[in-house]
Amino acid sequence: MAPIRYGIIGSGMMGLEHIRNINLIDGAEVVAIADPNDEPREWAKFTLEYHGGPSKGVDVAYYGDHRAMLDGCDLDAVVVATPNFTHRAIADDLLGTPLHILMEKPLCTTLEDSLAVQAAADGHGGVIWMGLEYRYMPPVTRFVEMAQAGVVGTPHMLSIREHRFPFLKKVENWNRFNEKTGGTFVEKCCHFFDLMCLIMADRPVRVFGSGGQSVNHKDESYNGRAPDIFDNGYVVVDFEGGGRALLDLCMFAEGSHNQEEIALVGDRAKMEVAIPDGHISVATRERERDRFHVPVPPDVLDVGQHHGATYYQHTEFIEAIRSGKKPKVTIADGVLSVAIGVAAHRAMDTGQAVYMSDLGF
């Protein structure tokens, strides 16, 4: 079969991760890069040279505008890895093409824009895949499969903890401001809200939240403006069937051994997984215990920051393209994850619970 020819829109940190992972996959190649800034295009060129692009015999084209790339290149698929606030406009340009699209999270910075993209995507001929890749970390994938298989029985309580480092520097510091990110609980935490819905297999109905900016970025100023991005918080999501999920986020916890920890408790057992350890443990109410490790190949770990998730996400995306099957991570998943993040911020701002029905869900 002919290789899947990728164009990458946005060659900052996440765009480079996509490049490195695509270059590991037989039958896929990056043939074009579009970024409006000179330096990220140079980063992409170096990454392609260092991580094997030329070994595939590909002559890569570089563009300052993604629309010129769409007009000038023969592509099968595109990855949108640009700053959050640009996603709506880029989606508008792409949805008039037959291309397969992998859209990085979050879908958009606002619920209104997310719903508009969802409506515009209806009837699109290509695969549209939402880049909520945390579900593709192999230990998390196995954890989700076990939960869906009923290992814990009926799930009642889910907790997700991410204790990590602060937001990294991005081009033009766009990730320091809510207006450009959608807010931390949209930008960062849509991954976790997606996992909540996937694991609980139920409809979210009510969101509580408490959060703020306690430590990070307080001594920074950009064109006279202080960053307003939150660096910690708790979010509780109630589900229609009576289950509930908690997100515990701290972004000034660089000393954490495991960055992500997930625990699910049902009426039969408790199950836990931690990243990067990659161990899953199960303990029944009768105190029978099992613990095992889910490995990730070293070459996959070496090319990404998401414990192998980006690689496995692309293999599934390519399979959907080749088979004509529906995407496993849909625009609807992207919209819902943004909606829960919007509800979380609204709850934090008002001090009141937010009902998903008030947002149209």
- Domain with residue 101: its CATH number is 3.40.50.720
Structural domains in the chain (count): 2
What confidence score (pLDDT) does residue 56 get? 61
Looking at the fold, whether 128 and 140 belong to one and the same domain comes out as no
The predicted structure's pLDDT at residue 338 = 98
117 with 224, same domain: the answer is no
Residues 172 and 95 in one domain: no
Q: Which tens digits make up the pLDDT trace of 230-261? A: 999 999 999 999 999 999 999 999 999 999 99
Displacement of CA 327 from its chain's centroid (Å)? 15
Of 244, 271, 247, the closest CA to residue 260 belongs to: 247
Residue at 120 is within a domain: yes
Condensed to tens digits (0 to 9), the pLDDT of residues 54-90 reads: 556 678 999 999 999 999 999 999 999 999 999 999 9
Is 281 part of any domain? yes
Share of the chain above pLDDT 90, in %: 95
Q: What is the CATH number of the domain that holds 278?
A: 3.30.360.10
Whether residue 150 sits in one domain with residue 77: no
Cis previous bond, 295, omega within 30: no
3-state SS, 266-313, equals ECCEEEEEEECCCEEEEEECCCCEEEEECCCCHHHHHCCCCCCHHHHH
pTM of the model: 0.96
Confidence of residue 15 (pLDDT cuts 50, 70, 90): very high
Does 306 reside within a domain?
no
In this prediction, residues 313-325 reach a mean pLDDT of: 97
Q: Is residue 309 part of a domain?
A: no
Shared domain for 158 and 110, answered yes or no, is no
Give a yes or no: residue 32 inside a domain. yes
Instruction: Please check whether residues 348 and 202 belong to one and the same domain.
Output: yes
- Report angle CA 290, 195, 305 to the nearest 5 degrees: 85
Domain end among 133, 166, 193: 133
Residue 340 to residue 173: CA distance in whole angstroms: 25
Q: Per DSSP, what are the bridge partners of residue 186?
A: none
* Residues 185-222 pLDDT 10s: 999 999 999 999 999 999 999 999 999 999 999 999 99
pLDDT at 57: 61
Calpha distance 361→359 (Å, rounded): 6
Per DSSP, the three-state class of 160 is strand
Q: Among 133, 163, 190, give the residue marking a domain's end.
A: 133
Is the same domain home to 114 and 207? no
Joined tokens for residue 123: 């009837």
Domain that holds residue 104: 4-133
Q: What is the pLDDT of residue 52?
A: 60
Residue 99 has pLDDT above 80, yes or no: yes
User: Is residue 14 domain-shared with residue 24, that is, in the same domain?
Assistant: yes
What is the C-alpha separation between 82 and 243, in angstroms, rounded? 35
- Please say which residue of 133, 158, 180 terminates a domain: 133
pLDDT score for 1: 83
